Amino acid sequence: MEKSILECIKINKYFYDPVKIQVLKEVDISIKKSEFVSITGKSGCGKSTLLYILSTMDTDYEGKLLIDGIEMRGKKENELARVRNEKIGFVFQFHYLLNEFSVIRNVMLPGLKLAKLSEKEVEAHAYEKLKILGIENEALKKPNQLSGGQKQRVAIARALINNPIIIMGDEPTGNLDKKNSEIVFNIFKELAEVYNQSLLIVTHDNEFAARTHRIIEMEDGRVIR
Amino acid sequence: MKFKLIASVSKSLLLARWKQTLVAAIGVTFSITMFIGLLSFMSGLNDLLDGLVVNRTPHIRLYNEILPSKIQPIDKSADYNTSYNFIRSIKPKNKLLEIYNNAAVIKTLQSDNRVLGIAPKIIAQVFYNVGTIDLTGIINGIDVEEENRLFLFKDYVVEGNYIDLKNTTNSIVLGKGVAEKMLTNIGDIIQITTSKGERLQLKVVGFFQSGLQDIDKVQSYTSIATAQKLLGESNSYITDIQVKLKDIALAPALAKEYAALFELDAIDIQTANSQFETGSSVRTLISYAVGITLLIVAGFGIYNILNMMIYEKMDSIAILKATGFSGADVNKIFITIALSIGIFGGLLGLLFGFGLSALIDQIPFNTAALPTVKTYPINYNPKFYMVGGIFSIITTYFAGYLPSRKASKIDPVIIIRGK
């Protein structure tokens, strides 16, 4: 059996405010390399909550989380930051680009933080990623000069910069129109099929989900499919 | 590399709100400017006022005090040395004011390498005769050259040339107050009467103004030789030895040592003028308090602006954390912002502070009491600049500390999901 790059075992999660509610119930998920997985479900079923636990940003849960075979529980805040930096790429509903930096700097930031390569090399990588996404001509512009679809593609390039083992997306097409959604979806598909990139995308768009390799459907905090 | 990244992120955040940043920096600049200006001016004034007395006062003065003997004959008697002896109406013994064997004392002092210099002196009580009226006064017989070297005698001779006191026999430098009462001019001959009743005529070669009116109304200066003649004493007669030390702080200890060694009375400058030291230290304390208050106010400005920046840049902080910047990195970013405001504002403040001091230094300040002072006094002590610089960095660090902690604790999940 191929090794899982992301695995969670019996994840339980509670919200305490205003009363104790169990939002995730014994969730088991396993994702293998180059899989393109979507998590769907109705609003409030806990899919985003699950994604933030998987992304190591939320540490208040019960159960086991393994990324690349390494247990995440008990790691310190800065160690988790390092894991996010090196192994996970994020794409959110909103692009979250820093307007003070040019597009290329935005893409380079996580790479500079990782500091495994020199600034020149990181820049070359960033150009490469922008090329894959077809926006290398916008590299020196500021994010607020770009269209919504272009911004989201810059955010994807940023997610790719450190060659993460998995890209996580929280409604990455949620803010985009039909045409741009299509572009973003095709990029994801290309990444998965051509570049063997694993992807885990939370979406409530069933049409989007249906075209991924595997759908994890959630309801009331449980995985039902 | 890592610092470069943090610096570049800090810079972009700073420039994103450059107007507020500038206001914060101006706050620091203003407070440091005032801090430096205030301290330099206050300390200049202190030095001036202290100088009035301290420059003119020997660090240690050796003399004979007229006092009753501490040990009375009965105490030396073996029969009574175990009992309390009560003696009434003790009178001082007939001890002369002259310092015995003063040549040897001076020689010993001169060979002591803690001593900067010594100036012998004779103090004589006299009457200045103005027609039928006698004004009481004190004449100091001084070694003109040594007195000038150690106690800046020249600075206080406002009219006439001080060295004439040495070159002209039977000459006197009159206190300004005395001269005004006697209506004398330079070149006039005045008559004085000594306490023993002898009369002498002296030529006025200069006027002396110490800045302390009570002194100027009483004191005058002659050379040692003239004073000895005045008192009818031999040329070895002196009543005081003034010692100036290399380190003024040693004065109290050395005064005790010399008193025991030479069997003389010795008084040190700290004991003689303790009120001046108290005055300066209180004034310095007030200037520091005002300066630090200004800085703290500037610190609150920085605190506010950083807080605002954090609320505004919540998204950016969240995404930095989501993409792998740790809380410590975010903390460093905001501390860097605070410190660069502090360092930039502080440096400008030091510069402007120097400018302000230089400006105050040009303002005319003429007062009859202070003949040597023409403009407001300023003390350009590098210590103030160091203290100002260090304080600006410390206050901005603390102003940045709480907002930075807050920023580092931002939970990216809440921000990102909140959208």
| Chain position carrying tokens 């907002």 | B403
pLDDT of residue B222: 92
A-chain residues within 8 Å CB-CB of B416? 92, 94, 96, 170
* Beta carbons of A110 and A85 less than 8 angstroms apart: yes
Of residues A60, A5, A1, the one with CA closest to residue A35 = A5
pLDDT of residue B352: 94
Question: Which tens digit of pLDDT belongs to each residue from B243-257?
Answer: 888 888 888 888 888
Q: Is A62 within the bounds of a domain?
A: no
Alpha-carbon distance of A162 to A61, in angstroms, equals 27
- Across the interface, of A57, A77, A98, the residue whose CB is closest to B322 is A57
Shortest CA gap B319–chain A (Å): 6
B-chain residues within 8 Å CB-CB of A164? none
**What does the DSSP assignment read for A15-47?**
E-SSS-EEEEEEEEEEEETT-EEEEEE-TTSSH
**Cβ pair B315:A96 closer than 8 A:** yes
Question: Which tens digit of pLDDT belongs to each residue from B330-348?
Answer: 888 888 988 888 899 889 9
Question: Which tens digit of pLDDT belongs to each residue from B7-22?
Answer: 888 888 888 778 888 8
CATH number at residue A116: 3.40.50.300
A-chain residues within 8 Å CB-CB of B315? 94, 96
Shortest CA gap A150–chain B (Å): 18
- Across the interface, of A55, A101, A115, the residue whose CB is closest to B12 is A101
For residue A175, the enclosing domain spans 35-45+76-223
**Cβ pair A85:B325 closer than 8 A:** yes
Shortest CA gap B313–chain A (Å): 9
* Beta carbons of A90 and A202 less than 8 angstroms apart: no
In whole angstroms, what separates CA A157 from the centre of its chain?
A: 12
Q: Which two tokens stand for residue B331?
A: 């903390």
- Across the interface, of B9, B13, B328, the residue whose CB is closest to A78 is B328
What is this structure's pTM?
Answer: 0.70
Alpha-carbon distance of B155 to B153, in angstroms, equals 6
| Residues contacting A13, CB < 8 A, separation 6+ | A22, A23, A24, A46, A49, A50, A53, A58, A60, A61, A62, A221
Q: Where would I find the H helices in B55-91? A: 73-76
| Chain position carrying tokens 């935005």 | A106
Tell whether the model's pLDDT for residue B57 goes beyond 70.
yes
Q: Which two tokens stand for residue B356?
A: 């302000």
Count of structural domains within chain A: 1
pLDDT of residue B348: 93
pLDDT of residue B350: 92
| Residues contacting B320, CB < 8 A, separation 6+ | A109, B9, B329, B330, B333
Alpha-carbon distance of B125 to A26, in angstroms, equals 107
Q: Say if residue B403 is preceded by a cis peptide, omega within 30 of 0.
A: no
Per DSSP, B223 falls in state: E
Q: Which two tokens stand for residue A14?
A: 């509670």
Shortest CA gap B36–chain A (Å): 37
Chain A contact for B271 (CB, 8 A cutoff): no
pLDDT of residue B371: 65
**Testing the interface with A: which of B13, B15, B323, B329 to mutate, by most A Cβ within 10 A?**
B323
| Chain position carrying tokens 């999901």 | B417
Q: Which two tokens stand for residue A131?
A: 């090329």
Where is B282: in which H helix or E strand? helix B274-312
**What does the DSSP assignment read for B232-250?**
T--TT--SEEEEEESSGGG
Q: What pLDDT band is residue B76 in, cutting at 50, 70 and 90?
A: confident
Shortest CA gap B11–chain A (Å): 9
B-chain residues within 8 Å CB-CB of A52? 413, 417
B-chain residues within 8 Å CB-CB of A98? 12, 316, 319
**Cβ pair A93:B322 closer than 8 A:** no
Alpha-carbon distance of B385 to B380, in angstroms, equals 9
The letter for the amino acid at A7 is: E
Chain B contact for A224 (CB, 8 A cutoff): no
Q: What pLDDT band is residue B369 in, cutting at 50, 70 and 90?
A: low
Residue B113: Cβ within 10 Å count: 7
pLDDT of residue B58: 84
Question: Which tens digit of pLDDT belongs to each residue from A6-32?
Answer: 888 888 888 887 888 888 888 888 888
Alpha-carbon distance of B227 to B204, in angstroms, equals 14
**Testing the interface with A: which of B3, B319, B330 to mutate, by most A Cβ within 10 A?**
B319
Question: Which tens digit of pLDDT belongs to each residue from A106-124?
Answer: 888 888 888 888 888 888 9
pLDDT of residue B247: 82
Chain A contact for B12 (CB, 8 A cutoff): yes
β B189-194/B133-142 pair status: unpaired
Average pLDDT over chain B reads: 84
Q: How many CA atoms lie within 13 A of B169 on its CB side?
A: 3
A-chain residues within 8 Å CB-CB of B418? none
Q: What pLDDT band is residue B221 in, cutting at 50, 70 and 90?
A: very high
* Beta carbons of A167 and A197 less than 8 angstroms apart: yes
Alpha-carbon distance of A105 to B397, in angstroms, equals 28
Q: Which two tokens stand for residue A82?
A: 């390092």
Proportion of chain B above pLDDT 90, given as a percent: 8
pLDDT of residue B94: 65
- Across the interface, of A92, A94, A100, the residue whose CB is closest to B15 is A100
Radius of gyration of chain A (CA): 17
Chain A contact for B70 (CB, 8 A cutoff): no
Scored b (16 or more CB within 10 A) or e, A104-141 reads bbbbbbbbbbbeeeeeeebbebbbebbebbebbebbee
Q: What pLDDT band is residue B172 in, cutting at 50, 70 and 90?
A: very high
Alpha-carbon distance of A42 to A22, in angstroms, equals 16
Residue count of chain A, please give it. Answer: 225
**Cβ pair B416:A85 closer than 8 A:** no
Tell whether the model's pLDDT for residue B181 goes beyond 90.
no
pLDDT of residue B356: 93
Question: Which tens digit of pLDDT belongs to each residue from A63-92?
Answer: 888 888 888 888 888 888 888 888 898 888
